[in-house]
């Protein structure tokens, strides 16, 4: 479940996980959910774990909202993987 600036909640079969979102200077939120979904699907298709795919998708969506428009907001792979936030361990919490 996407939670906007608070990140996402995911269920991985063992419990609920929260993947926090990096801070972003929001310009336009149009397309942020589509961006998240696309990046999550690609990550899972690449055989990432759900946690890894969600972390990358949250980073992509955070980058997308810093731009105007849905199509122009969609970040490229090198942009997402180049984010310092994406390179370090992101805050992931386990909820009971």
Q: Is 58 helix (H, G, I), strand (E, B) or coil?
A: helix
Q: Tell me if residue 28 is catalytic.
A: no
Nearest-5° angle of CA 48, CA 77, CA 68? 120
Q: For residue 38, which of 24, 18, 59, 19 has the smallest C-alpha distance?
A: 59
- Active-site residue, from 34, 42, 79, 83: 34
Catalytic center residues:
34
């Amino acid at each position: 479940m996407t939670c906007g600036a608070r990140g996402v909640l995911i269920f991985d079969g063992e419990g609920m996980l929260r993947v926090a979102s990096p801070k972003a200077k929001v310009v336009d939120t149009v397309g942020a959910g589509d961006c998240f979904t696309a990046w999550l699907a690609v990550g899972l298709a690449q055989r990432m774990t759900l946690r890894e795919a969600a972390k990358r998708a949250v980073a992509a969506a955070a980058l997308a909202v810093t731009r105007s428009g849905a199509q122009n907001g969609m970040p490229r792979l090198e942009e997402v993987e180049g984010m310092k936030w994406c390179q370090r361990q992101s805050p992931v919490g386990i909820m009971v």
